[in-house]
Amino acid sequence: MCSFCSATPMDQARSNYDSTVKLFYVSGNHGIWSLGAERILKEYAAGPRSREVDNLRFLEKRTSIPIPKVESEWIDKETGKYFSITSRVEGQTLDKLWIVLSEEEKRCIAMQVAGCLEQFRRLTFDSEGPVNFDSLEEHILTDEKTWEISSASLRNVSEEVREMLRVNMPSSYPYTFTHGDLAIHNIVVKDRRFAGLIGFESSRYRPVWFESVRLASATWGDDREWKGLLAEYMPKFPQAQRFCAAYWSLSTAPNSPDAMQALKELVEGAEK
């Protein structure tokens, strides 16, 4: 029996039914199903509801970027699982087409995405947090609070080094709406041109430099190539890039030569 749809081999053998309801993505605690060609169903394990619906409704009123439109959401009374149904952005995700696109087409898509993200940066707030928050505690992440939380990962770093890092921390203002996951599979393409964005589960207000700096975190093949290309057309925040590099090096290997070099580059960058 299929653990996802409960169909048995006998069900398949005695029927010519060809379902257009198909599971096409599973990750962590959720699965994504296509409902025919025009709609998407997302199912999440019991727990806090996904913020994606809030983000999509927020953006629909404030931008012209092609994104999924929310049709329904609910929490199942029996299982506690959360469901949402949205429209499907017409086209294919960029990861499916990357290998067949020309360099010029890839650059064109990167420029189009970067242009759309300018609309996000016009959506600002005075602190970090979700677009709709359930408590004031969700919106208290100012620079001071961000450092307080971040420094907890620097327990094995000397006070002197921590202070060097702190005084060179870039300002987060203004906090801008951030997609948060510009991975190659969240970019939709049609006729070899940008057609829309998907995957808004982790979107929220974040430091103005976050989206650009995060592009450097890609770790595999096509996604790394895509994000490197997109970074060429995004605003540059070199000091924030150096700060993040130093922070991660110090939090993971505080006494390593790489960490000391990253800290040196951060301090020297601030002096220029």
**Domain end: 58, 87, 116, which one?**
87
CA separation (Å) from 82 to 42, 52, 72, 138? 8, 12, 11, 21
**Domain end: 47, 65, 87, which one?**
87
Residue 126, domain member (yes or no)? no
Looking at the fold, whether 165 and 262 belong to one and the same domain comes out as yes
Residue 62, domain member (yes or no)? yes
Residue 172: predicted pLDDT: 87
Looking at the fold, whether 151 and 251 belong to one and the same domain comes out as yes
Residue 2: predicted pLDDT: 55
Domain that holds residue 149: 144-171+237-272
Looking at the fold, whether 160 and 73 belong to one and the same domain comes out as no
At 244-272, the pLDDT tens digits run 999 999 999 988 999 999 999 999 987 76
Contact (Cβ atoms closer than 8 angstroms) between residue 262 and residue 249? yes
Looking at the fold, whether 150 and 241 belong to one and the same domain comes out as yes
Residue 216, domain member (yes or no)? no
**Domain end: 68, 87, 106, which one?**
87
Looking at the fold, whether 166 and 251 belong to one and the same domain comes out as yes
Contact (Cβ atoms closer than 8 angstroms) between residue 124 and residue 173? no
Residue 21, domain member (yes or no)? yes
Q: Digits of tens for pLDDT over the chain (272 positions)? A: 456 666 666 666 677 778 899 998 888 788 999 999 999 999 998 777 889 999 999 999 999 999 999 999 999 999 999 999 999 999 999 999 999 999 999 999 999 999 999 999 999 988 888 898 654 455 555 777 778 878 888 988 999 999 999 999 998 889 999 999 999 999 999 999 999 999 999 999 999 999 999 998 877 899 999 999 999 999 999 999 999 999 999 999 988 999 999 999 999 987 76
Residue 136: predicted pLDDT: 47
Residue 46, domain member (yes or no)? yes
Looking at the fold, whether 167 and 53 belong to one and the same domain comes out as no
Looking at the fold, whether 165 and 242 belong to one and the same domain comes out as yes
The position carrying tokens 């202070």 is: 163
- φ/ψ region of 16 (left if φ > 0, alpha if ψ in -120 to 50, else beta) reads alpha
Residue 4: predicted pLDDT: 61
Residue 1: predicted pLDDT: 47
Residue 133, domain member (yes or no)? no
Residue 162, domain member (yes or no)? yes
Contact (Cβ atoms closer than 8 angstroms) between residue 207 and residue 150? no
The position carrying tokens 């081999």 is: 9
Looking at the fold, whether 149 and 263 belong to one and the same domain comes out as yes
Give pTM, 2 decimals.
Answer: 0.89
Could you tell me what percent of the chain has a pLDDT over 70? 91
Residue 184, domain member (yes or no)? no
Contact (Cβ atoms closer than 8 angstroms) between residue 110 and residue 102? no
CATH code of the domain containing 71: 3.30.200.20
Q: How many domains does the chain have?
A: 2
Rounded distance between C-alpha atoms, residue 189 and residue 184, angstroms: 11
Instruction: Look up residue 56 and give its two tokens.
Output: 């999509």
Instruction: Look up residue 229 and give its two tokens.
Output: 């290309």
Rounded distance between C-alpha atoms, residue 96 and residue 189, angstroms: 9
